């Protein structure tokens, strides 16, 4: 069975995704027919989820309910008042379905990676290359999900000015209205940062971050990202948030680690020693030259939860993730005149 436009609607996967998935299905079908059938079932699930999304009204199209007009403007007015405590219950149905579709696509790609990896044979370089391509497609979908969650995080921050929130809400509507949109279509600078970070393993060392920053640059991170966090007038919170990004740790964990280094008289530490001090496994976002986009997703969520807690409790430390500070800067550049 070939995965063609008849098997999966053209608007569900882009051309490159379809080609990679088709190749993977052929490989799995030749070696593990039962696995191939499971993958075909995943294809059907993805198509069905997309059909639900397609049947929803475009969020920018005006409508009315109970005598109340609903327009793009009223939706933005609603979104900028979110406090985050209602979760998906405060979002339009199409937003929830859009998120469900993206999660279904992520699980779909993870299934293909699992089945294709199991077909790996010594010397089968074409299968290794295929797994790599699938992993790259998975990463792009996860980065898209991350960006959606980043915009939602901005909406619930009380220290974000209204023009920034409206810009974030407008971008969310575009994402929810188009299942084919991916991060490179609307936030290429963020994609560049995550793409590079997912290819850098922290060595910790003396915790200055110089080698990690250099490796970010060598992995083609957009230089404007590094310039933003390296500028002379950056705030303390921005600097700490960037440290969190580099080391895959919260500010509190870094403070604990630095205190332990002083007590032990150490000027440099290994990842194993650092993990022992902070009391958890420190995930590598890249291992054996293959990225782990799931680990990057967990890293972002850990840092976002810590930032939300500091804002609610009034404790010191960055109120946003590094990505949050960066996207606020970018949105502010787009509309600098609105209070």
| Rounded CA separation 142/297 (Å) | 7
pLDDT at 203: 84
- pLDDT exceeds cutoff 70 at 25: yes
pLDDT in tens, 320-331: 999 999 999 999
Closest by CA position to 269, among listed 253, 245, 289, 287:
253
| Rounded CA separation 15/141 (Å) | 15
The pLDDT of 311-339, averaged and rounded, is: 86
Closest by CA position to 95, among listed 60, 44, 66:
60
pLDDT in tens, 40-57: 999 999 999 999 999 999
Mean pLDDT of the chain: 90
Cα-based distances in Å from 165 to 56, 153, 183: 25, 10, 19
Which of 3-17, 47-61, 153-167, 211-225 shows the lowest mean pLDDT across its residues?
3-17
pLDDT in tens, 238-257: 999 999 999 999 999 999 99
pLDDT at 83: 86
Confidence of residue 287 (pLDDT cuts 50, 70, 90): low
| Rounded CA separation 143/182 (Å) | 8
């Amino acid at each position: 069975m070939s995965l063609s436009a008849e098997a999966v609607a053209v608007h569900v996967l882009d051309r490159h995704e379809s080609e990679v998935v088709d190749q993977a299905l052929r490989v799995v079908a030749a070696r593990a027919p039962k696995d191939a059938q499971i993958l075909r079932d995943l294809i059907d699930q993805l198509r069905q989820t997309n059909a639900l999304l397609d049947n929803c009204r475009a969020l920018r199209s005006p409508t009315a309910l109970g005598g109340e007009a609903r327009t793009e403007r009223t939706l933005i007015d609603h979104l900028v008042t979110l406090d985050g405590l209602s979760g998906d219950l405060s979002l339009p149905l199409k937003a929830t379905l859009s998120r469900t579709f993206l999660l279904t696509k992520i699980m779909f790609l993870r299934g293909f990676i699992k089945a294709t990896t199991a077909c790996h044979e010594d010397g089968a370089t074409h299968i290794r290359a295929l797994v790599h391509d699938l992993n790259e497609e998975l990463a792009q979908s996860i980065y898209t999900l991350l960006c959606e969650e980043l915009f939602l995080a901005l909406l619930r921050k009380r220290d974000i000015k209204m023009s920034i929130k409206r810009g974030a809400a407008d971008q969310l509507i575009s994402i929810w209205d188009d299942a084919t949109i991916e991060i490179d279509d609307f936030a290429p600078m963020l994609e560049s940062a995550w793409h590079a970070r997912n290819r850098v393993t922290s060595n910790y060392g003396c915790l200055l971050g110089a080698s990690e920053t250099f490796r970010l640059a060598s992995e083609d991170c957009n230089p404007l990202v590094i310039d933003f966090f390296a500028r002379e007038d950056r705030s303390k919170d921005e600097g700490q948030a960037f440290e969190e990004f580099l080391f895959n740790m919260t500010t509190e964990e870094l403070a604990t680690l630095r205190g332990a280094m002083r007590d032990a008289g150490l000027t440099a530490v290994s990842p194993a020693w650092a993990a022992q001090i902070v009391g958890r496994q420190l995930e590598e976002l890249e291992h054996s030259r293959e990225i782990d986009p799931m680990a990057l997703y967990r890293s972002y969520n850990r840092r976002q939860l810590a930032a939300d807690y500091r804002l609610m409790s009034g404790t010191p430390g960055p109120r946003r993730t590094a990505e949050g500070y960066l996207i606020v800067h970018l949105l502010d550049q787009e509309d600098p005149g609105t209070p």
